[in-house]
Structure 1
Amino acid sequence: MYASLQSFPASLFGEFDRLRRELDDVFGSAGLPTSLRSVAPGTFPALNIGNTPSSVEIYAFAPGLDPAKLDVTLDRGVLTLSGERASTLPEGEDRKVTVYSRERVYGSFKRAITLPEDIDPSRVTATYRDGVLHVSIARRESPQPQRIAIQ
C-alpha cells in the first residue's frame, strides 16, 4: 500500500474544520458565524432548540433580565424573542468607570426562530425561571394510519 493512503485522514471534513479553527485562532473570525447553523459570537440570548414527538422546546439563556421586558411572539411559524438588557455599570458624572474588558452584552436584542410546519400556535407556553426562558409549543395532532379490514 502507498504510504500516502495509509496516512489519509479518517474524516476529511474533520480536517477542514480543524484547519478553519486554527486559522480563526491566528486571524480571528471577524465575528462571522463559523458554520451553517451557528450564529455570530456574542449573539444574545444563547438558544437550545429541540423537539419531542408532541412539542417543540426552546430554551433561551438570558440571565439578569426582567421578565416584564421580554417579548415573545409567534407569527406564521416564526417565533421572535426580543427585549432589553440593562447595563450593570454605574451611570452619572460622579461615577466614572474604566472598562478593560466587557463580555456581557447589554442593550436591546431580537432573535427569530423558524419553526416546523406542524406546530399548533394556539398551544404555546412560556416561563422564565433562574435566567432561562423556556418556550414550549405543542405539535398538531397528526392523523394516524388506519387499518382497513378487507371483506
Structure 2
Amino acid sequence: MSDLYFTTDLFSQFDRLHQQMAALFGGNPSSIRTDRLSAFPQVNVGTTDDTIEIVAFAPGIDPKQLEVSIDKGLLTIAGERPSAARADGEATRLYARERFSGQFRRVIELPQHADPDRVEARYLNGCLSISVGKRESSKPRAITVQ
C-alpha cells in the first residue's frame, strides 16, 4: 500500500492546468473555424540548384491586385482578396467563416544567396509562383586538382 494519498484526482488537475495554459497562450484551435492565427496566403518554400521557389496559394485574387517586392532580403507578397458577395445583393449573417477576405501581407525572409535581380512571378490557377535566382558565387562548383 502506498503512503502517498491525494485528496483530488491529480490527472484532472493537470488537465485543467493544460486547458488554462492553452487558453492563456492561444492554444490549438479545435476546428478551422476557430483558427484566426493562420496566415494568408499559405506558402510553400523550396529550393533547386539554381533557384529558390515560393508558391503562395491565393485563389480568387485578381493577379493585377497582387504586389510582390524584395527589399533587404525580404520577399513581400501583398494584396487584397474581395469578400464573396451574393448575386442578389442581400446581406448574409454569417455564423462561420472559413474563407479569408480582406487585405493581406506576407513577408518571407530569403537566404543570403538569393539574387534580387533575378526574380520571376506568375499567377496560374490560384497559385502565385515566385522564382528567385541564386547568386553565382553561392552555387556549388567543382575544383580541379592540379
The 5 A counterparts of 1:1-151 are 30=26, 41-90=37-86, 95-142=90-137, 144=141, 146-149=143-146
Under a length normalisation based on structure 2, what TM-score does the superposition of the two structures give?
A: 0.70
One-letter code of the match for 1:121?
P
SS at match of 1:117: coil
What residue ranges of structure 1 are gaps of 5+ in the alignment? 1-18, 34-39
Under a length normalisation based on structure 1, what TM-score does the superposition of the two structures give?
A: 0.68
Percent identity (aligned): 40
One-letter code of the match for 1:100?
Y
- Tell me by how many angstroms 1:31 deviates: 6.8
What residue ranges of structure 2 are gaps of 5+ in the alignment? 1-14, 30-35
Separation of aligned partners in 1, 2:57 and 2:24: 25
SS at match of 1:82: strand
One-letter code of the match for 2:69?
T
* Superposition misfits of 4+ residues, deviation over 4 angstroms: 26-29
Separation of aligned partners in 2, 1:97 and 1:76: 43
Separation of aligned partners in 2, 1:41 and 1:131: 22
One-letter code of the match for 1:96?
A
Separation of aligned partners in 2, 1:95 and 1:67: 28
What CA deviation, in whole Å up to 9, does each residue of 1:92-143 have, x standing for no partner?
9x62312121110111000000001111111110000000000001111127
SS at match of 1:142: helix
SS at match of 2:61: coil
**CA separation of 1:28 and 1:115: change in aligned 2, threshold 3 A:** same
Kindly report the root-mean-square deviation, in angstroms, between the aligned alpha carbons of the 2 structures.
3.0
Give the conservation status (yes or no) of the 8 Å contact 1:32–1:41.
no
